[in-house]
Amino acid sequence: MTAITKTFASGPGWHVADVICTAGAGDRPFEEAHRDFCIAVVTSGTFRYRAQQGTAMLAPGALLLGNSGTCYECGHEHGSGDRCVSFHFAPAYMERIVADVPGARTLNFEAPRLPPLPVMAPLLAETEAARDMSETGAFEELGLRIAGAAIATATGTTHLARTPSRRDQKRVAEAVRRIEFDADAPVSLSMLAGETATSPYHFLRTFRQVAGMTPYQFLLRTRLHRAAVRLRTSHDAISAIAFEAGFNDLSTFNRRFRNVMGQTPGQYRAGRSFAG
């Protein structure tokens, strides 16, 4: 085995995995088949990818674009090893994304890759950071955002921002209230979209337009805000505050809190003042 695959997160019709390949120039290229649509973010190393759409060299910042049911071959004649965050979408799931991307018409990718593009850089950085921080809850949204951006870029379409309808604004308002009410519990994008009778991609795009951030980002901000208030107003242990706010991992909470608040939870608490 020259590749180690670790599934990060999954849901109906999608999953995302960390793929580490150790093959080198002396290893024969291996052939496989895409069971689903695949969009892989290359985070390190280089490799050659050959599929029905053509042959391309993949480097960090590039996106591998794989069509469902097609065979492909990867080779490392120019260097050893690579690492990717690989998003996989069932055909029916991908079809719904394509239907919600303005101007997109075709389901299959015509090219084998997207080269490193400035427009994709922030999103790819978010993906790598989520992998390194084990933010499994972020991957459903990231997969949809990457798929939508890849489809729009690969097909040359433009996301035309339209003013959200009153119905869409009402849906987002209801979702915001749901997140606030259940911020300490698991709240998934598919759950929120299902409650508004919209597709996950349409809901995600509308939520970002109305609220200025994604549902997961809003959920994190809500949890961090509540944790910050408790740090200043209670003597409870930091770990208890983190877990009760909805964080399952203390180290993730510490990193997120420091990134947003500019201080560690302990430093932030040290500046508190109690009324009694």
User: Residue 86 sits in a domain of what CATH number?
Assistant: 2.60.120.10
Number of domains in the chain: 3
| Domain range enclosing 250 | 224-270
Residue 199, in any domain of the structure: yes
Asked if residue 68 and residue 125 are part of one domain, the reply reads yes
Does 121 share its domain with 207? no
- 77 neighbors 130 (Cβ within 8 angstroms): no
Contact 128, 85 (CB under 8 A): yes
Angstrom distance (rounded) from CA 76 to CA 74? 7
Q: What is the DSSP letter of 118?
A: G
pTM of the model: 0.82
pLDDT profile of the chain (276 residues), mean per 10: 86 95 81 94 91 91 95 84 95 93 86 89 91 88 94 73 77 88 88 89 89 89 91 92 92 90 91 51
Same domain membership, residue 102 and residue 188: no
Distance of CA 199 to the CA centre of its chain: 16
Are 143 and 108 part of one and the same domain? yes
**CATH code: domain of residue 228:** 1.10.10.60
Residue 218 domain flag: no
Considering the domain architecture, whether residues 147 and 113 belong to the same structural domain is answered as yes
Tell me the CA distances in angstroms from 175 to 190, 203, 213, one per residue in order: 12, 10, 13
Query: According to the model, what pLDDT value does residue 17 have?
Result: 96
Q: How far is it, in rounded angstroms, from Cα 194 to Cα 190? A: 6
- pLDDT at 185 (0 to 100): 87
Position 274 scores a pLDDT of 44
